[in-house]
A and B are shown apart, each in its own frame.
Chain A
Amino acid sequence: MVVGMTMETFLQQLINGLSVGSLYALIAIGYTMVYGILRLINFAHGDIFMMAAYFTYFGIAVFFMPWYVTFIITIGLTMLLGITIERVAYRPLRDAPKTSLLISAIGVSFLLENVATYLFSGKPQAFPEFPLMTTPFFIGGLSFQPVSIVIPIVAFILMSALLFIINKTKIGMAMRAVAVDYDTAKLMGIKINGVISSTFAIGSALAAVGAILWCMKYPSVLPLMGVVPGLKCFIAAVIGGIGNVKGAVLGGLILGFSEVLMVAFFPALTGYRDAIAFVILIIILLFLPNGLLGKKQVEKV
């Protein structure tokens, strides 16, 4: 197992883990931000990711738009989708029991999956190729796909921008205030609805970028493609400490590295790749229920 691995392949796997982890981080941020503010697992987030992949596919492969126009339209449409979902399915239930809100989130997820199956058929579609991104190049015996390098760079830039927004701007301050105490924030004159809408917009935009990069790496689009990444990225958010953006990034990277490295070291376990996330989840819940960077939550009466 380990014997067959040279330094080169190990480095290659590290780069691979970094790019997979960065993708997870981009999606996990959307989960953690919504959970931080609404205390809701946004089950639809994985399906928002899936819709973004379809928007890009249609833009490039069906409507023949240039890729940069498509990317902008995709990000715009995905943000709109996220905001609309919150408006239609979550806002009317804000004072309802939490179970109703969770069911609504699952309902949206199920609806998006079924609508996508109905409209685009359940068959996988080939995502347009980006030769610039996928033609491997070589550095001293190592072959890399450019996309594996581009993903972490884009992710790093976006996350820095996000941290800037959260820590230095007015809307970011409002978001933090709502996350700390919903009712007090409302009393202090913060427009809760606007804050929640922008949270969904940011989360969806990151999911859209994640979807575009994901499809460059794994060029196939299908209606249920968002389910497993969605589940894993929520787990990534839990690993890092739910509600904490840096934690989501850390969790995403940990998950990405452990998946790639486990498959690299123990090829016999390749079939179980998707199961690792859940094993980690159970371990984290047993020993570190607040995640690596999360604060201890106290339930108040």
Chain B
Amino acid sequence: MKETQNSIGAYLKAHWKTVLFLVVLLIGIGLADNFVDSYLRRLLNLCAIYVIVSLSMNLVNGFTGQFSLGQAGFMAIGAYTVAVFTVPIESRAAIFYLEPMAPFLANIQLPFIVALILGGLAAVVVAFFIGSPCLRLRGDYLAIATLGFSEIIRIVFTNTQSITNGALGIKSIPTISSLWWTYGTALLIIIATVLLINSTYGRAFKAIREDEIAAEAMGVGLFKTKMTSFLIGAFFAGIGGGLFAALLGTVDPKQFYFTLTYNFLLIIVLGGMGSISGTVIASFVVTLGQEALRFLDEPMAFGLDLPIFRPGLRMVVFSFLLMVIVLFYRKGLMGTNELTWDFIAQKYHAIKQKLSRKKASTEGGGQQ
């Protein structure tokens, strides 16, 4: 008993800054949960969901070096699972008015958390079928197969009228508005990812990213390891999709157009492929940025008759940003670094040194 107390004490002593940060963060979320208005609440929830999905993408693309573009599809699976299983039974007849819900589903209603996990697992099953042929091969087949899958899953959901209500989508899904659901899940997934990356598996992921042949020669099972990363990524993305459905309260196939995946791609490239903290920061930057730049889409004429601001400009800006980062700042914000206390201290000292050197040189210049 005493020993465990000691080890907890030692842990607190070694990581007091992190623990303090977490406590402040939790208090912050608690305060925000009570005081922000519904618009900001929705936006903050969206940020957390983007953190979850971007992290799932970074795990596969950034840490394991496999190019997957299926995030929108996995989200769609998670979202539809939550939608189908949590919509109140009494309102189902009104939603499925074109064709009644399939009898084997019509009377099943699950608690949100169960449906959420089920959605993640459904994404894993689908990911297994895509991964089995693609991850065995070297090359870029995964990219095209996952991108194709995101298109297909939309086609499937549009055509399975009696399960997904087709193009009409499913409305009146019980919504979550508390920040705890999204931020709690995001925190759990961040912690899980950190633990995973620092485990044997994580080291195998990175070995594959750096050099597949060398990794194989060192005894890393390529297929199994890639598959592990891909399946975990799909699970997280499915969870993210489930939360997304519960946040919006409605799902339809158009929400999960494959261009949604490009948002997450922008996030992981901006944050740094292979940086967890970079992904978290970039998720907030991009999500809030997309909201802040909404004015670009609003019609506004410049000078005579030149409507520069009109629908579509915002996405042009974002895709241009993606190109600029890839071409000129390939490492993104964080590269493969993490925002640890050591990293901050290092940066702080570097800046301080730079400033004092500048000061010294200007003073020296003044004396002469």
Contacts and interface: CB of A to CB of B under 8 A. Distances in A.
Interface of A: 39, 41, 89, 92-93, 96, 99-100, 102-104, 106-108, 110-111, 113-115, 117-118, 121-122, 227-228, 231, 234-235, 238, 271-272, 274-275, 277-278, 281-282, 285-286, 289, 297, 299, 301
**Smallest CB-CB A-B distances: 5 pairs:** A118-B312, A285-B133, A111-B319, A114-B315, A110-B319
B155 A110 contact: no
Interface of B is mostly: helix
A301 B215 CA distance: 12
Contacts, number: 119
28 contacts: A39-B139, A93-B327, A99-B67, A99-B273, A100-B330, A102-B140, A104-B323, A107-B323, A110-B262, A110-B322, A111-B316, A111-B319, A111-B320, A113-B259, A114-B312, A114-B316, A118-B310, A118-B315, A121-B311, A121-B312, A227-B258, A231-B144, A238-B141, A271-B155, A275-B152, A278-B145, A282-B130, A297-B139
Nearest to A90: B327
Given A274-B152, A285-B137, A289-B141, 15 more contacts: A41-B143, A89-B327, A93-B326, A108-B323, A114-B318, A118-B311, A118-B316, A231-B147, A234-B144, A275-B152, A278-B145, A285-B133, A285-B134, A285-B145, A299-B212
Contacts of A234: 144
Interface of A is mostly: helix
Nearest to B158: A271
Nearest to A234: B144
B149 interface: yes
A231 B151 CA distance: 10
Interface of B: 61, 65, 67, 69, 129-130, 132-134, 136-141, 143-145, 147-149, 151-152, 155-156, 158-159, 212-213, 258-259, 262, 265, 269, 273, 310-313, 315-316, 318-320, 322-323, 326-327, 330
B156 A275 contact: yes
B198 to A, nearest CB: 22
Contact of A102 (B67, B130, B158, B313): B67
B144 A41 contact: yes
B155 A289 contact: no
A225 B141 CA distance: 22
Given A41-B143, A238-B144, A114 B138 contact: no
Given A41-B140, A301-B213, A103 B151 contact: no
Given A111-B319, A271-B159, A100 B326 contact: yes
A93 B149 CA distance: 28
B326 to A, nearest CB: 5
Interface-centre pick from A39, A110, A272, A282 (highest chain B CB count, 10 A): A110
B327 A281 contact: no
Given A104-B326, A118-B313, A271-B159, A235 B144 contact: yes
A231 B145 CA distance: 9
Contacts of A278: 145, 148-149, 151-152
A252 to B, nearest CB: 15
Contacts of B155: 271-272, 274-275
Interface-centre pick from B130, B137, B330 (highest chain A CB count, 10 A): B330
Contacts of B158: 271
A96 B273 CA distance: 14
Given A102-B140, A282-B133, A89 B323 contact: yes
